[in-house]
Homo-oligomer: A and B are copies of this chain.
Amino acid sequence: MERFLDLDAASQFAASKMKKNNLFTTERMFCDVYCFEPGQTQAAHAHEGSDKVYVVLEGAGEIQVGDDTRAVSAGAAVLAAAGEPHGVANTGDARMRVLVFMAPPP
């Protein structure tokens, strides 16, 4: 696995749905960049034994954790602890990129 990556080079978008771009995966964690065109979403879901952190790199939208849905933009960091439903929506009119860290991989 390449140890040194560039987030911009790794950020691929897809017209059909939000795209997950993996940066690193180990037995202990993974790190992805999720790319959302305007209107694209990650439906709320939960992982029973894994914690996830979202960090918004670019754009703006909404992130849900549990029953708490908030407007977020670049610089927001959000924790979804194990078992908590969580999801993302690009509600803006520009592209949205979100760094995702999860431990352990589900």
Contacts and interface: CB of A to CB of B under 8 A. Distances in A.
Nearest to A10: B77
Interface of A: 1, 3-8, 10, 23-24, 26, 28-29, 31, 50-51, 53, 55, 63, 65-66, 68, 70, 72, 75-82, 99, 101, 103-104
- Provide the main secondary structure of the chain A interface: strand
A48 to B, nearest CB: 12
Task: Quickly give the copy total for this chain.
Answer: 2
A80 B1 CA distance: 11
Contacts of A24: 51, 53, 77, 79
Nearest to A29: B103
Contact of A3 (B4, B79, B101): B79
Given A7-B75, A76-B6, A101-B101, A29 B51 contact: yes
